[in-house]
Each structure stands twice: as structure tokens, then as C-alpha cells.
A and B are shown apart, each in its own frame.
Chain A
Amino acid sequence: MSLLHLIVLAPFIFALLIPFLYKYVRQVHTGWFVMILPLTLFIFLIQYLPSISRGETSYWSQEWVPSLGINFDVYLDGLSLLFGLLITGIGTLVVLYSIYYLYNKKKEPLNNFYVYLILFMGAMLGVVFSDNLIVIYVFWEITSLTSALLIAYWFHKERSRYGALKSMLITVAGGLTMLAGFSLLYVMTNTFSIREIITQADVIITNPLFIPAMLCVLVGAFTKSAQFPFHIWLPDAMEAPTPVSAYLHSATMVKAGIYLVARLTPVFGAAPQWFWIVSGVGILTLLWGSVSAVRQKDLKAILAFSTISQLGLIMALLGLGSAAFHYDVAEVGTIYYTATLAAVFHLINHATFKGSLFMMVGIVDHETGTRDIRKLGGLMTIMPITATVALIGTLSMAGVPPFNGFLSKEMFFTAAINATTLDIFNMQSIGLLFPIVAWIASIFTFAYCMLLFSRTFLGEFKPEKLSKKVHEAPIGLLISPIILASLVIIFGLFPNLLAYSIIEPTMASILPNVLAGEGERFYVNIYHWHGFNIELFMTLGVFIFGALIFLNMKKWTETAFFLGERDPLNNVYDKSLVGLVAGSLKITNLQMTGLLRDYFVFMFVFIIGLMGYTMIKYDIFAIDLVNVAEISPYMLIIVVVLLAATISIPFISHRITAIIAVGVIGFLIALLFVVFRAPDLALTQLLVETVMVVLLLLAFYHLPELKKESFTPRFKITNLIVSVGVGLVITLTALSAHAMSYTHPIQSISEYFIKNSYELAAGKNMVNVILVDFRGMDTFLEVLVLAIAALGITVLIKLRMTGSEDV
């Protein structure tokens, strides 16, 4: 265990304390205690910055399931440190914000809220610091679960539950697909450790399983990061309390997919398919999200679609950045890693401005009681501080200088233009699409940013539509967004503050194979003025066309496109969910009839199919009667009576007689054991049979006298065929096994027990030695089953629920 292990596990341990703090320290808001944790972790992680910026990485191992290659290994490099800082840093601010947002301690179950939040934080830290794919998967699914709990925090609202279910179904399905991808990676490389997989990257690219593994992993990343067409869960997840939205949807949860793509770029990045899928899906999401955002009327919905589009942007940049694998840095590769640089930088910028915007929206919601932009307006004079924070956030998101969003947007344009100059994968022709789509998406981004700000803070104030008396938010609610907004300005004015401390080490983690040798570093220099180049004119175009769209919004508002707020893809989800439920119900009803005889038919048919198929496939029908032992007269008599008793059972109409006939079969089998000199078995069989017959007779004595059910001929014939089939298959198996034992000498397992039962277990009775010693666990569990069954019977009979007649 190292300190880094402790960082990952600390939130889980701390979560245990929260209910007690909530219950016994009622005077202090629980959030104050909770805030200590991310703050401590943040300060602790900052200490690693100098060593990381020197290019050092750390690795600690902790065995978990070593036999399966699953170890709780943690790895600290630029990428994981960047995410760790985001998770804990934004986490601190979000907790601080939530203290003032959820101030009503009597009404809100705060203990639930903070437990979920802290668990979520721990799971995210686990995802980013783990080196083992399976451990990542475990933490990944914990983030899915805890985020669903957070989204459904106000579970009395139907929309919250819908949103939580949707996010969980989509992300967990993606996670499972990802697990399949991880398993394929294991098949190829024989390890779950990402670092070891990276060392084999150039070998596995030729493996036929490479593409399936890549696709599976990408599905997981895309569902988590809300990429098209899986993005539909994110707008519905906005039902969560705003601090949660700010945390999950700006800083952490949705970025888990980005993290995974970045982390696995060294493994998959050299494949052209990776380049195409990641950048293609990313740019499509960017366009779709920004266009959809324009038509939203809810402030949070606008931000949700904006997040989707921004995540698409980062994803596209990561895809474009992987082109660097195909070039030598020394020659022309330099210009292609600009994309990765932009991705990392935009990741940081997005966390700052989107975090502050979400918090701002929460403040507006809190103070006015609505988030509908049709009701809002003119808040600038009433809430000046909130308006300033919002202005900084929106301008940064829109890509206006001198804020940090402008810088990363410029780099994005550069990367998109560079894509046209690629001379690989036919980029010469299709590559032109990248800058065009990026440009169009940016125009819409600019438009919705303007819309967001102006509809809330400018224009006419409509107090008659608001349920509350509006005033400026309390200072506590404003601290966090102010801090984030000042970061927006600081990173905007001094972008190189981050250049070599965190951006460059992160790039080195994403593109390790690109660097030529030891000590080599990426060149990072971010600055505002690039001269009169294409990027500048594109930005100017964005401003002009974005403003045009914004000014003509009045005409747009009447069109069907604008009124249809809901994403059409939601219908696909809703319909398939209904279909899924109906389909599973149908299958369940077909299979779970509640009739024991049906279950037996299923089992027997399965046995016939499985054994028959195996026998035919391996051609092991071998009936050889040469070595068959003689049948003694006793045996003949027993078998004849046995057959007679068996055949008579279906024709007996009185049930007591039928039970006795079944008993006869059992006793005859015991006799057969006697003939074969197996006293143990005979004794057991006799006793079991006696007890069973008594039990059955007792049970039937108490049951009412009912008429025998009459069956259709079809039912009888089916059962006849199945029973004959089972008999045939079992007989054939036995005969073939007998014949085979002569042609294929097989070591019988009884030899081992004969040899060892006295020496190892000091018992001469082999059967009993097997029962209590060699296979003691089996016996133990069988006895357990017996005990549970007996208790079940007692509970069913004695503690019958009052009022139910049909037990």
C-alpha cells in the first residue's frame, strides 16, 4: 500500500463517517466536514507537480487477485495527475457550493447526498489512477452507479428517476462492452496492466482481435463521454441537483471517457481506424451538440448540449492527435501533435468555464425559481456579480479573446486545418470536411453562448413570471464560481503557466511513442497573437455568423426545428426500452411457467441435445457387447419388476398407490446396489427412500382429494418422446462408455481414492472418506442446502401469511 492507494481509498473510508457526522453534529452543515477530504487530497496531489513536470512517473503495486493477473496497481503520470487535480479541485469547489445550495438541512437528506458524492469522487480517482484494466472497470461501474444515485437524488420526481435509469442503462451497457474489449486485450497480450500492454502495442496491431477490442473499448468510452449517438442520457441527467451537474457533467464523470481514450491512445492510436472513429464521432458530436443547444429553452439543457459538443471537440482533437503516430517528430510530426496539445488544454479550460457556468445557472435557479429562458431576463442589474461570472464563462466558451477558451479554440482550428494536409488515409480529399464542420459548429457555439447570456441577464426583467423575489446570491454561493472564473482569466492571460507543469507531461503520457528518445520533450508554447492567418479569419467568421444567427433568433423560434426541443434519438431509446421490457416479459413467461413438469422438459431436452450433439460430433457411438458381463437371475427379476413398476405409474389413478409404486422403484434400486455389493449406497438409498415415502404420504394425506388432471394427447406424446429420448441418450452413453473403456484405457478416478483414502485420510471406508475429507466442501454445502430446504418448509407451513388462502 502506498500513499496513492490511500488517496483512492480515502473517499470510500470517509464515506463511512458521513452518516455519523450528519446525525450527531447537527449544528454544522455536513458539507463542511466533507470539504476537508477533497481539499486535503488536492493539496496532496499538488506536491507531485514538480516531479511530474520533470518527466518522472511513479508506480506502486498491490496484489489483489494475482492468479488472474488482477492487481490494484496505481500509476501516477501527467495524465492521471491532471485528472486527479481536476477531480479533487473541482470537487472541493462543488462541495463548498453545495453547502449553500442545499442549505435546508431539515428538508434535504444530506447524508445520502454526500455519501454518494464522496463515493463518486473515490471511484473517479480509482479510474484515473489504476493501471489494471479490471480495476479500472470496477471503478468505472461504481461511477455509473453512484452517478445514477446522484441524478436520482430527488427521487420523488419522476423525471429524476427516468434520467437516472437512462444514464445507468446506457453507461453500464457501454461499460460491459468495454469489459469485453478489455478481455480481448488480455487475450492478445496476456496482461491487464496498461503499461505492459503499451509495450506490446506494435505487436498487437496486427492481431485479428485488435479491431474488435478497439471497438468495444470505444463504445465504453463514447457512452460515458456522451458521444453521438449515446449522448441522449446527458440532458436527462440534468435533473440532478445543480452541484451534481456541475461536478458530474463539467469536470469528472463524462470526462472518464475522454480519459480512457487518452490513456489507451498509445495502445490503439497507431491504427487508422482509431483515427477515423475517434475524430469522426467527436466532430459529429461537436456539430450535433452545438446545433441542438441553440434550440433549448432550459438553461441547464443548453449547458448539457454544450457539454456534449465540447466533449465531442476534445474527442475529435484526441483522434486528430493520433495522426502524430504516423510521422517522425523530427520531420513534420510537430504540427500534428498540436491537436493533442489542444485537447489537453481545452480539457482544463472546459472544466473551469463550464464549472462556473453550471454554478451560475444554479444560482439563477435558486434565486428566481426557474431556469426557463422565456421567463428570465434583465437580471444584470439585480445580480451583478453573477452576471459578471456568467459573462466571463460564456465569452470563454464562445472563444472570445483574451479568455482561455479562445486559445484552445484557435488551436482546435489549427488542428482541423492541419488535418487537411495529412497525406495518410485519403485525408487529402475528405480532410477538408474537418475545418468546415468545426467552423459551422463553432458558429452555433457562439450563438448559444450569446443566447445563454442575453436571455438571462439582458433584456426586459419579467418579475411577474417569477415565483420568488429576486436578489443577489449570498456570498457563499458565489465563492466557487468566482474562483473558477478567475482561473478562466488567469489561464487566458498566462497560458504558459500550465505549459510545462502539466500539459507537456500529459501529452507525454498520451503520445509516448512519438518522442524520439530519453529526455526528449514536446514543445509547448501557447500565445494569443499568431498573425493574420486562416484561424484568425475563421474566428472572425464565427463571430459574424454567430451574431447573425443570434440576431435572427426571432424568425427561427417559429420553425419546427426550434420547437422540437427533444432529441429525436430519445424516441429510439424510449421505444427500445419498452420493447426490451416487453420482450423479456415474453421470454420469461414462456420459460417460467411455474409448472415443475415444464422445467423438467426443458432440462431433459437440453440434456438430450447436449449429449446427443457431443456424441454425434465426436463420433463416439461404440456398442460392443463382447465384454459385457453376464446378467444374473436376481438382477433379471429386479429389472423386470423395476420396469413394471415404472410403466405402471402413469396408469395409476390413485395417488397413494402411485407413491407406493415410486417407493417400490427406489427399494428395487437399493436391491440392485446390494447385488453390485455396494452396502453404503444400498443403506443410504433404503433410508432415504423410507423417509421420502413417509414424507410424501404425509404431504398427500393433507392435500385435498382432487381429480386427476386429464391431458391432451399432444402433451402426452411430447412427454413420451422426451422421456424415451433421455433414456436412449443415457443408455447409449453408458454402453459407449463401457465399450470405450476397453479401446481407450482411461485412468479411473477411483484408483486415486483406493490408493490414498487410508494413507491421506486414515479411513478404510472410501465412500465416507470422500464425503467428509476429499470432498468435504461438497458435503458441507449439500448439508447446508438440506438445512435451508427444511427451514423453508417450516417457514412456508408454520409462518403462513394471514389472509392468503392459496399456500
Chain B
Amino acid sequence: MRNNLLMLHMITRIVVFIILAFSIFLFFAGHNNPGGGFIGGLMTAAALLLLYVTYDVKTIKRVIPFNYKTMIAVGMLLAVGTGVISILAGYPFLTQFDGYFTFPILGEIHLTTALPFDLGVYLVVVGVALLSILSIAEDDA
């Protein structure tokens, strides 16, 4: 017997975007409000998981062809990279810097090197959650 998942499909399409948007908001909010790379990453993973649960793995893989292994690697490299930059600047590993910069349209923005580090964490968390869940889910042995 096949279940009719029309309602779930329709709602998922809308909700996933809301969750994704919220997860990105959470990620950027992290420095001053609740959120951050870990939580943002988990929420993104949850949104994508919802997609995988609603539709089947093959369809989603066609639509969002991410390689999660690469994503983990890129995340790790980002995190290491920000740490190494501080070494090159003559400070201990992972020393973070911040500063205020003025951009043409956006105005004055507070930038920190913690952000790329956090982005690394974000990418690794998304990659880890989806890679492990998908490898178990796809396993048909």
C-alpha cells in the first residue's frame, strides 16, 4: 500500500525554506545572540533531513548534489585556515581578531575572524550529520 503524501510534500516545500532561512539567521546571529555555527549547522541539517524523509534520497540527490565528504573537508580547512592565519601573523594558534569596516552599500559592519572559523564548524556539522545519516539510510545490505 502506498501512502498519499501530498500534504507532507506541499508543507515540506514551504517549511524547508523557512527552516533554512532561520538556520542562516541563527548562524549569523551567533556572535551576539543565541545561535552560532553548531546550532545553525544542525538546523540546516534538520531542514535537509526533512527533505530526505519526505521525498526519497535519489530525488533529493538530483536536486541538491552536495558531496558531504567534500563539505566536511572544506569546513575543516576553513577552521584550520583561520587558526593558521594567526600563526602567520605571529600570534598563538587560533587567536581571533575583529574590527569595524565601512562598505559602500551595507554601511559599517563588524567583522571577526571568528566568523570563518564558525563557518567551518557549520559546514562540518552539516556534513557530518547528513553523511552519517545518509550512509546508513542508503545502505541496503
Contacts and interface: CB of A to CB of B under 8 A. Distances in A.
Interface in B88-123: 93-94, 96, 98, 110, 112, 114, 117-118, 120-121
Shortest beta-carbon contacts, A-B, top 7: A687-B42, A764-B32, A790-B128, A768-B36, A762-B98, A776-B94, A772-B114
A462 to B, nearest CB: 70
B51 interface: no
B133 A694 contact: yes
B35 A790 contact: no
Contacts of B34: 679-680, 683, 765, 767
A773 B125 contact: no
B135 A794 contact: yes
A699 interface: yes
Nearest to B140: A702
Contact of B93 (A691, A771, A773, A777): A777
B132 A789 contact: yes
B31 A764 contact: yes
Nearest to B117: A772
Contacts of B112: 761-763
A316 B76 CA distance: 61
B81 to A, nearest CB: 11
B33 interface: yes
Interface in A67-91: none
Interface in B122-141: 124-125, 127-129, 131-133, 135-137, 139, 141
Task: Report whether over half of chain B's contact residues are helix, strand or loop; otherwise say mixed.
Answer: helix
B24 interface: no
A578 to B, nearest CB: 43
Which of B46, B80, B96 is most buried by chain A, counting CB atoms within 10 A of its CB? B96
Contacts of A695: 132-133, 136
B124 A787 contact: yes
A769 B30 CA distance: 9
A783 B121 contact: yes
Contacts of B39: 680, 683-684, 687
A502 B83 CA distance: 54
A791 interface: yes
B130 to A, nearest CB: 9
B129 A691 contact: yes
A794 B38 contact: no
A773 B129 CA distance: 24
Interface string A779-800: 1100110110111011001101
A657 interface: no
B127 A790 contact: yes
B116 to A, nearest CB: 10
Contact of A797 (B26, B124, B135): B135
B16 interface: no
A702 B133 CA distance: 12
Interface residues of A, number: 40
Task: Report whether over half of chain A's contact residues are helix, strand or loop; otherwise say mixed.
Answer: helix
A576 interface: no
Contact of B31 (A683, A769, A790): A769
Contacts of B85: none
A437 to B, nearest CB: 62
B137 A773 contact: no
Nearest to A678: B34
B135 A783 contact: no
A717 interface: no
A690 interface: yes
Contacts of A702: 136, 139
Contacts of A765: 29-36
B49 A694 contact: yes
Contact of B98 (A683, A688, A761, A797): A761
B49 to A, nearest CB: 6
Given A684-B39, A783-B121, A768 B31 contact: yes
A698 B29 CA distance: 32
Given A762-B98, A776-B83, A688 B118 contact: no
A763 B115 CA distance: 11
B125 A772 contact: no
Given A783-B120, A790-B128, A797-B136, A771 B76 contact: no
Given A765-B30, A776-B117, A800-B141, A793 B46 contact: no
A794 B72 CA distance: 13
A793 B124 contact: no
A758 B75 CA distance: 26
Contacts of B141: 800
B52 to A, nearest CB: 9
Nearest to A793: B132
Given A690-B46, A773-B114, A791-B69, A783 B76 contact: yes
Given A763-B114, A765-B33, A773 B79 contact: no
A790 B110 contact: no
A763 B36 CA distance: 11
A800 B94 CA distance: 37
